[in-house]
Chain A
Amino acid sequence: MFIDPHVHMTSRTTDDYQAMQAAGVVAIIEPAFWLGQPRTEVGTFKDYYSSLVGWERFRSSQFGIRHYCTIGLNSKEANNQALAEQVMELLPLFVCKEGVVGIGEIGYDDQTEAEEKYFRLQLELAKELDLPVQVHTPHRDKKRGTTRSMDVIVEHNIDPSKVIIDHNNEETAQEVLDRGFWAAFTIYPFTKMGNERMVEVVRQYGSNKIIVDSSADWGISDPLAVPKTAALMAERGISAEDIKMTCYQNALSAYGQSGQMKESDWLQADQVDQTQLYQGNSVLRGQRPDQESGISNIIQ
């Protein structure tokens, strides 16, 4: 069993869902992020958040995978301040809904003043509601941005054990772990971590508070990054216990602090029934379900 605690399924196909399910992924967390091009209206944020708690969750369930999400204003779009103000008003409508396991992904991109302002406002919201926080660390000037993110969090008196610092690398891991935060590593080809490096990180630091995710999205990325990394770890002599911790248990322990994510959610799940409807729509689009066979010409 695997959990991918960072994957943008909105951008992925049903083939991905099937492959993930076949590879043993039982639960996923979809952070609210940007969509590759900036939004220009608050209404598109509203519908996006609604789809994360609604249709995407249902779609995932139809492939036997439990879907959770984090809700937040991402750092990139925080720079459009007129829009950001309106989005901030929306957040209280969504952050406590069923299956929302935290505020995220929030943090820095260019490390501007606007980004800092909305990062802090959202940290206060998380604190008020006692929710976990999922932090996106910047691609550029990563090391300084990661340190700065943690400094701000500590300044707001938020317990590091409620915060997952994501997109770490060999340069940031030590400080994140030393300061008591969860350290998540994104296995994403070319721009973030490769999984051979990930094996060595686990070999060096062990599995305490270390989390593997894919961050698969609309770019060249791999929704099977977690199961593939687990397999590579096994091949290269990492213990089964460490694999379980980094590819399943730590994500559950970190985000389970929301009270919205429990192992029984998938261990005691109903059988998949693809004929179920969500607001009148199914994933079948008129096709017959995989599980059934035999077609009748009679239409009753």
Chain B
Amino acid sequence: MDSPAYFDVSSALAFLKKLLLKRLPPPSHDWLLTKLTLLETDPAAKNLYLFFGAAPRFITEEVLVITEEEQSQAKQLREGWYIKDMTSVQASRILAVLSYSSQPQESFFHSLEQLFTTAEMNELVALYRALPLLPYAPSFKLRAAEGIRTNMSVVFDAIALHNPYTHDYLDDDAWNQMILKALFMDRPLFKIWGIDNRSNYSLSKMISDFAHERWAAGRDTSPEMWRPIKKDPSEAIYDDLRKLLLMEDPIQQAAAVLAARALNTPSAKSLLEEFEATVSGLDANTLNWQAIGKRWRHLKKLSSN
């Protein structure tokens, strides 16, 4: 699969450029404009590399305030493209990469690999945020899979959360590792773009095993973990859901109900019938994954940001 057919790099570039430039004070504005023009007129790798390192020397780092309209425009340009929580320096680095993207595939890929393998933490965040916008997108699959192995949570978040690249391009093994790692690192699953579409048997088995391991150790489990089991579940899942429904903990019960409804198999339906009284006792407002995720994070004193 190549980049989505509707996606046009130059539209995304023009949109982000306008959005950032109008927010920058004159010195940063002028520096950015000069350097982006240089990248377009003289697309040498050296200019890209120097831009990448120098950006924070000339652009003051701050989180951009994005309107709902701007966010929705971004999503029209690239499905799943998330621009909230983006900083000025991140946006400038993404712009630099996009300005350089008219290069032939081989040299573009080589330059991006150089940036990835020499990047410090903030540079990595920008690079992973740029992934869904890049031309030759599939060629960065292994890079994204490698990035998921990071122990830096901000870098992991840049790949795993609000990023349609992983949904669109990772193979099942890498996707499953990402979900499990997100659970290990207490990351909010409700921010993983397209999480409901990528369920698979192997993932459902890994989730069940992980839950058993936690329970054997006397530890609790995130209710969000039952979300990605909806397709092709392992048989053990039904016993797990039964266990959750018996827990007398509304948040675990709500997760079991949502998971069983999504499964929609005869076994799931009979489970829901068996626990009809429990199900009807749950507050309907709590029966969605986002509410469950947020509530869980609140209870566990984990940040939702």
Q: Which residues of A contact B (CB under 8 A)?
A: 46, 49-50, 53-54, 89-90, 92-98, 100, 129, 259-260, 277, 279-280
Tell me if B300 counts as interface (CB < 8 A to partner A): no
List, in ascending order, chain A residues with CB within 8 A of B45's CB: 89, 92
Could you tell me the distance in whole angstroms from the C-beta of A60 to the nearest C-beta in chain B? Answer: 15
Q: List 11 A-B contacts (CB under 8 A).
A: A46-B117, A54-B120, A90-B114, A90-B118, A92-B45, A92-B49, A94-B53, A96-B50, A97-B53, A260-B57, A280-B152
* Distance A18 CA – B92 CA, assembled complex (angstroms): 40
* Distance A111 CA – B114 CA, assembled complex (angstroms): 32
List, in ascending order, chain B residues with CB within 8 A of A93's CB: 49, 52-53, 114-115, 118
Main secondary structure of the interface of B (DSSP, over half): helix
Q: Which residues of B contact A (CB under 8 A)?
A: 45-46, 49-50, 52-54, 56-57, 114-115, 117-118, 120, 150-152
Q: A89-B45, A280-B151 are in contact. Are A94 and B54 (CB under 8 A)?
A: no
* Distance A54 CA – B45 CA, assembled complex (angstroms): 22
Could you tell me the distance in whole angstroms from the C-beta of B103 to the nearest C-beta in chain A? Answer: 15
Q: Which of A94, A98, A100 contacts B118 (CB 8 A)?
A: A94
* Distance A46 CA – B116 CA, assembled complex (angstroms): 12
* Distance A94 CA – B54 CA, assembled complex (angstroms): 9
Q: A279-B150, A279-B151, A279-B152 are in contact. Are A129 and B114 (CB under 8 A)?
A: no
* Distance A109 CA – B50 CA, assembled complex (angstroms): 28
Are B50's CB and A129's CB within 8 A? Answer: yes
Closest residue of chain A to B53 (Cβ to Cβ) is A96
* Distance A95 CA – B52 CA, assembled complex (angstroms): 10
* Distance A279 CA – B117 CA, assembled complex (angstroms): 14
List, in ascending order, chain A residues with CB within 8 A of B118's CB: 46, 49-50, 90, 93-94
Beyond known contacts A92-B50, A94-B53: 17 more, CB 8 A cutoff: A46-B117, A46-B118, A89-B45, A90-B118, A92-B49, A92-B53, A93-B53, A93-B114, A94-B118, A95-B50, A95-B53, A96-B53, A97-B53, A97-B120, A129-B54, A279-B151, A280-B152
Could you tell me the distance in whole angstroms from the C-beta of A213 to the nearest C-beta in chain B? Answer: 25
* Distance A92 CA – B39 CA, assembled complex (angstroms): 14
Closest residue of chain B to A99 (Cβ to Cβ) is B120
Q: A93-B115, A279-B151 are in contact. Are A98 and B56 (CB under 8 A)?
A: yes
Closest residue of chain A to B44 (Cβ to Cβ) is A92
Looking at A49, A92, A94, A280, the one whose CB has the most chain B CB atoms below 10 A away is: A92
* Distance A97 CA – B46 CA, assembled complex (angstroms): 14
* Distance A299 CA – B46 CA, assembled complex (angstroms): 50
Closest residue of chain A to B151 (Cβ to Cβ) is A280
Could you tell me the distance in whole angstroms from the C-beta of B72 to the nearest C-beta in chain A? Answer: 35
Q: Rank and list the top 8 A-B pairs by shortest CB-CB distance, nearest first.
A: A96-B53, A280-B151, A92-B49, A96-B54, A93-B49, A92-B46, A93-B118, A97-B53
